[in-house]
Amino acid sequence: MDLSNHSILGDAVVTTRLDAVVNWGRQSSLWPFVFGTACCAIEFMATAASRYDISRFGAEVLRFSPRHADLLFVAGTISYKQAPILKQIYDQMPEPKWVVSMGACACSGGFYDNYTTLQGIDEIVPVDVYIAGCPPRPEAILDAVVQIQKKMWKEPALELQDHGDFKGKLDD
């Protein structure tokens, strides 16, 4: 059979790179896990509701097990007592995984500058996108999802994710 004849195949063949197909699938099917501890979690609930509808961005399958999630939203204040739990949740997530630090408290400790509050989750887990605000608007959360999707296009599909030489406070 002569495959050089275009009329035989018509539009039945599409050529592309494997990275493009895999990253398109990842981008279109984000499975977020929300570690919500404060008012930022309420804003995330608004983002998942019908007015803002996070499902338009392929992230409607909210997971309640970190073993099924690939996007971690840390929404709210994290105390030092919660830090090992956050680290365990992050470690249980399969690769590739992305982390969004949501709100002033998760990004920098917020106005809680005391001995019990973690001054930013980037001391425990690597963060891909930071969302400012107290609490952040739903539009900012959707923008963070779009930023994560843009990062996915740049990553090779068959290589492990490179978090640089990240060493958190709880790493051995």
Backbone angles phi, psi at 57, to 5 degrees: -105, 10
Cis ω before 66 (30° cut-off from 0): no
- Per-residue pLDDT at 4: 58
Low-confidence ranges of the chain (pLDDT < 50): none
- Per-residue pLDDT at 52: 83
- Per-residue pLDDT at 111: 84
In this structure, how many other beta carbons lie within 10 angstroms of the beta carbon of residue 71? 25
Residue 74 and residue 106 in contact, taking contact as beta carbons nearer than 8 Å: yes
Q: How far apart are the first and last CA of the chain?
A: 60
> Looking only at Cα atoms, what is the longest distance across the chain?
75
| Torsion angle in degrees (nearest 10) through CA of 114, 120, 123, 124 | 100
Interval 85-106: pLDDT, tens = 999 999 999 988 999 999 998 8
- Per-residue pLDDT at 44: 86
- Per-residue pLDDT at 84: 93
CA distance 85 to 99: 15
pTM recorded for the entire structure: 0.82
- Per-residue pLDDT at 30: 87
The listed CATH number (3.40.50.300, 3.40.50.740, 3.40.50.12280, 3.40.50.620) that belongs to domain 28-154: 3.40.50.12280
